Structure 1
């Protein structure tokens, strides 16, 4: 079978699975490069002629082109997924990537937000205008629900209820986020100002958070809001992004007693393994505090002392 034809079929499979536009762009770009390399450098056009050595050579080619280890790893995972699909479709009997060594990615400990920093970033905005109230509500929702950037930008107004938020997540999978009383207080004030802001105006999109064009916010606009919060609060020594709030939510929620399986559901992860990577920013100091709280000896006889 021609590799080009199989890749085209896999493309439709991915579309049917509901992968995001960004994911599809990355996949198509990678498979196009793989196809070109195998044909021009290795003289291969047929799927069944691809050997492990060809893929080892492709990985080396990518590394020599200056691609970072993290990017090589992501690229390799896409190729592995493609060949696994080929096995499922019975086009292949084994994955030629099985014995290809993937370069190890150095683990970096992500510096997470502190409670004081998050409070300062929420407090960096007030209710003096619609934009200020919107920005305050955005930062509060990011920190208190762990919602993704894409999810908060496209969140329909009707999906925010009294105590829950219906989130259309990654891969077209829905999940529920819960609105705490503290977040609700901010959202009530924001909704009051939003109502006044849209009065007698024609909405292009009825998203919960609106841009000045009365539609959902762009990725760049959301990033500017987050960066502004960090600047006003004086957070300069760490990455200020929507995803860092997601890490803050994960870590704080876990330390407050939730189990990792429930946390994984709240974050919309398909695997607990993904959730575990969010906990790498747990510092030794914070880990020590948690160890003292949960220490068997420290808790021994506590019920008797009450």
Structure 2
């Protein structure tokens, strides 16, 4: 980035440091205008008189030097999304921020510098009154917190208005894991010699044996499915070790032998009638298995992930090992699984406490 020597106006390389003239060529002006449009910042387009082909200098009152106050709320959101993309965030995360922040800009029609804690609270309250769940409102809060924190770091705002906004409370619902009867019903629903039934049987065992997310299941290759251990890059973009039991590997081999098309070790592991399964395809397959098994509630991949965590803790696995196998960065997410195990302990205490014998007398 360079600056015009006479006036100190940012020209992003269009004028050199030694350039003493105050004239822009038509090509330079068009490049600068395209740059501003791409940045979605209409306030940054410098005044330009084509008849005189002259860039106004600091002595001319028509000049507008770009500063942070020139950014609109909409422009700041778009710049934040560019920042997220430059950081290499997943497309799903960028979509999360884009949807919630653009909804905020459509409801809060004030300049960026006028957004305060009161307007943010009113927006969150409006979202609550629209009968949104507490988790939806909390997601709005998280998106706004990330955005305004970035604005403060980039000095687009003198202070982060979210510092005075407390997070909305959420309903804590600890969903139980799949019971042993439900797991057996799911496996029985996959019995058969057809390659699709063999695939479903192997898929259920894989989900229950590893606790993988649906997106991670889609990453598995044929070589992964036939190995005792393999590496996978999950949600946090960190490679982690995944272990497959002998029963799971055997079920996968039976499915692969029955699959009608030849596959290489690098081929995707899970296939359907229309090709390799996507995340949506895996979710659909799991949902159909749940319906065949007669489960009343909707069955998703996370039910297997939750069951893997709870049964592992019940059998004595350490939290550190469970965190590594599930691919979590910290222990905060595991607290929900620990609560389910605590309920087991409370029930066991109520059934086997020595005081229970005294109550019977």
Q: With the length of structure 1 as denominator, give the TM-score of the two structures.
A: 0.81
Partner of 1:75: 140
**Equivalent position of 1:25 in the other structure:** 95
Deviation at 1:142, TM superposition (A): 0.7
Would the alpha carbon gap of residues 273 and 51 (structure 1) be closer, same or farther in structure 2, given more than 3 Å must change? same
For the pair 1:215 / 2:276, whether they are aligned, the reply is yes
Question: Would you say how many aligned residue pairs link Structure 1 and Structure 2?
Answer: 282
1:277 deviates by: 2.2
Indicate if the aligned counterparts of 1:110 and 1:280 stay in contact, CA closer than 8 A.
no
Q: Is this contact kept in 2: 1:126–1:132, CA < 8 A?
A: yes
Aligned residue number for residue 17 of structure 2: none
Q: CA deviation at 1:178?
A: 0.5
Q: In structure 2, list runs of 5 or more residues that go unmatched.
A: 1-67, 354-361
Cα displacement (A) at 1:6: 2.5
1:105 match: secondary structure? coil
Q: Which residue is equivalent to 1:178? A: 243
Task: Say whether 1:225 aligns with 2:285.
Answer: yes
CA distance in 2, matches of 1:261, 1:106: 27
SS at match of 1:166: strand
Q: Which runs of 5+ in 1 are unaligned?
A: 296-306
What's the C-alpha RMSD, in Å, of the aligned pairs? 2.8
Question: 8 Å contact 1:143–1:248 — kept in the other structure?
Answer: yes
Tell which has more relative contact order, 1 or 2 (C-alpha 8 A, sep 6+): 1
Q: Which has the higher helix share?
A: 1
- Give the deviation of 1:128 after TM superposition: 0.8
Is 1:51 aligned to residue 121 of structure 2?
Answer: no
Which residue in the other structure is 1:277 paired with? 336
Contact kept, 8 Å, 1:20 with 1:171, in 2: the verdict is no
| Mapping 1:1-306, distance limit 5 Å | 1=68, 2=71, 3-39=73-109, 44-46=110-112, 48-92=113-157, 94-194=159-259, 197-199=260-262, 206-219=267-280, 221-236=281-296, 238-282=297-341, 284-285=343-344, 287-289=346-348
SS in 2 for 1:223: helix
Greater CA radius of gyration, 1 or 2?
2
User: Mean alpha-carbon deviation: is it higher for 54-63 or for 102-111?
Assistant: 102-111
SS in 2 for 1:167: strand
CA contact (8 A) 2:219 2:232 kept: no
Q: CA deviation at 1:278?
A: 3.5
Deviation at 1:289, TM superposition (A): 4.2
The alpha-carbon deviation at position 28 of structure 1 amounts to 0.6
Deviation at 1:164, TM superposition (A): 1.3
